[in-house]
Structure 1
């Protein structure tokens, strides 16, 4: 495994832990404010139910699938061109989206832990399946399937480029 991949894995682990812990603390603060400070101005307006309602909206969102399909098409186009700027832009985008998806999963994990501790709700990560699939896809796009990695295929990259350009719209339909 390359040093870049190891660094990305370290960042993803840190983001997951930080967002899960921060969500847990945030929800407990909201819970305590709602429980003991509801008469204070603006504290009673803090919606205790807002974060849980966001999880299905964020996790089931087709934004990540759409971005992945466009990213695959853009990778194919970039392989046909010779531009370090485009290559770097796609790599940065893939890594950034990977981190964002990881933060979403951390948020959902922190929320599930909060529900387990406060309401004894069973942990059920099944609603996060689309987010985990998107995370795996973007992790591949930022490591093994990055434009820089695919350029190492030599002239075979042109066939991969055509396949990626054709695969992008198909992914949009499948995902």
Structure 2
């Protein structure tokens, strides 16, 4: 594993833990405000149900898979061109996507722990499956299928680039 990938994994682990713990703390503060601060101005108006309603909307959203499909198509075009700026932009976008999805998973994990501790709700990972698949896709796009990695294949990159341009729209249909 390269140093770049090791650093990315460290960032993802830290993001997952920080967002999970922060979500758990945030939900307990909201719970405490709802229980004991209802007579304080504006505190009693905090909707306790707002964060849980966001989880299915965010985790099951097709936005991450759609962005990954567009990223695949953009990678195909970048392979046909020669631009360090485009290559770097795609690499940064792929790594940012992995960090954002990991933050979402940390948020969902913190919320699931909160529900487990307070309402004895069973942990269910099924709603997180689309986000986990998108995370795996972005990890691949930021490592094995990064423009830099494919450019090492020489002129085969042109064939791969054309294939990725065709694969991008197919991913939208399949995902």
TM-score by length of 2: 0.99
2:133 equivalent in structure 1: 133
State the Cα deviation string for residues 94-140 of structure 1 (Å, max 9, x = none). Answer: 00011000000000000000000001111111100000000000010
Q: Which runs of 5+ in 2 are unaligned?
A: none
Structure 1 regions of 5+ residues with no counterpart?
A: none
Aligned residues: 175
Find the counterpart in structure 2 of residue 69 from structure 1.
69
CA displacement at 1:85 relative to structure 2: 0.1
Runs of 4+ in 1 over 3 A off after TM superposition: none
- Provide the residue aligned with 2:147 in structure 1: 147
Alignment of 1:100-119 (within 5 A): 100-119=100-119
1:41-52 equivalence runs, <5 A: 41-52=41-52
Q: Distance in 2 between matches of 1:114 and 1:153?
A: 48
Match of 1:35? 35
Aligned match of 1:57: 57
RMSD of aligned Cα (Å): 0.5
Q: Which residue of 2 aligns with 1:156?
A: 156
